[in-house]
A and B are shown apart, each in its own frame.
Chain A
Amino acid sequence: MHEYSLIQSLVTRVETEARARRATAVHRIVVSLGELSGVDPELFQTAYDTFRAGTLCERTPLELRRVAARWACPACGREVARGEALSCDACGLPARVAPGGDEILLETIEMEVP
């Protein structure tokens, strides 16, 4: 249940940004969640709905974008089929996950500014 502590960081970050820009309201937050980010999107949403009360995000919808984990060879670029061993048969190198596939990113904050 680390989703609650993540939401706490998210809301604090959004509030800091909103204050720095003297925003009067926050209209939308977009977060991307990688398949291998270790976050359950539904739990994340529930945690947000619970935690946002009384914050600047009280009425702000949270949009979640799910990013699939794609593994590929860093040398030849060959993609590893889902469920296969994470190495390249041809190059003998460990595969690398494409950006976003293992990350939790605050992408955009839509806010109302003077």
Chain B
Amino acid sequence: MCTTCGCGDTKVVPVDVHEKILAGNDRVARHNREHFAEQGVLALNLMGSPGAGKTALLEATAAAVRGRWRLGAVSGDLATDNDARRLEKAGIPSRAITTGQGCHLDAELVHHALHGFPWRELDVFFIENVGNLVCPAIYDLGQAANVVALSVTEGEDKPLKYPVMFKAADLVLLTKCDLLPHLDVRVEAVLDGLRRVMPRPRAIQFSARTGLGMPEWLSWLEEQRARVPSRGSTAPAHTHPPGEHVHEHRHGDGTVHAHSHDHAPGAGHEHPHDR
């Protein structure tokens, strides 16, 4: 400060922030995760290249668990709602999240998609991400686990080429394995690549067409379901007044949107919309 005339000299200071640039997304993701846990819904983020067989995997899964589990899905797509329509036809209540130019889903898009979608009644909720092996990897959506579909037609070196995606994967489904006799791809080479990029490598050889790997995939799903608390059993400290909680948040296009959520009795969560 200038002591001569009090004109207010400024000074340059370094402000140490040391904060994740995605901290805002991560807050919304925690909010989504708490909602899923509170309702006992297993939420899975399904990622993979365009054409890796994500939608076919879900169609085959729906047929395999029909009458036993209630599945639901939101599908991220740049321009169409084709995937959501395919899933509806397969008996999976679905909603499209059209991202326009967006190359990935983020926690806010998923949160928004949950409104008006009957996700609470589901056993397994799939978030089918935009087909892309790069961008979706770094966005937490609030899922319990990440599943990456990698089709054998994509080549042996994909794990080493996209280490960030496979590092994030809890499970890799090696899809279209029925095509292996027609390809030069060696499954062992793919698995070796996965061990170099995934600290806990786990892969299932799968074919939506022949049913190869379906029992292993269903038992992996069972295993994940067993980790989800049963409906209404979680009760983290509530930071809202009792009863309904209402809040508003701003979307990417600047519109402000207010909404309410119901909470299970005694349950609550951190409030993420403080940006």
Contacts and interface: CB of A to CB of B under 8 A. Distances in A.
Tell me if chain B binds chain A.
Answer: yes
Interface of A: 1-2, 5-6, 9-10, 12-13, 17, 21, 24-25, 27, 31, 36-39, 71, 83-87, 94-97, 102-114
Q: How large is the interface on B (under 10, 10 to 19, 20 to 34, 35 or more residues)?
A: 35 or more
A1 B196 contact: no
Contacts of A110: 12-15
B13 A86 contact: no
Interface of B: 1, 8, 10-25, 102-104, 106, 134-135, 137-139, 163-164, 167, 195-201, 275
Given A37-B164, A38-B135, A108 B200 contact: no
Contact of A13 (B21, B196, B197, B199): B21
Contact of B104 (A2, A105, A107): A2
Nearest to B199: A94
A25 B17 CA distance: 17
- Which 4 residue pairs are nearest across A and B when measured between Cβ atoms? A94-B199, A2-B135, A38-B138, A38-B164
B218 to A, nearest CB: 25
B11 A112 contact: yes
20 contacts: A2-B104, A12-B275, A13-B19, A31-B21, A38-B164, A85-B196, A87-B199, A94-B200, A102-B164, A102-B167, A105-B20, A106-B17, A106-B18, A106-B19, A107-B16, A107-B18, A109-B14, A110-B13, A110-B15, A112-B13
Contacts of B20: 103-106
Contacts of B102: 5
Contacts of B103: 1-2
B176 to A, nearest CB: 25
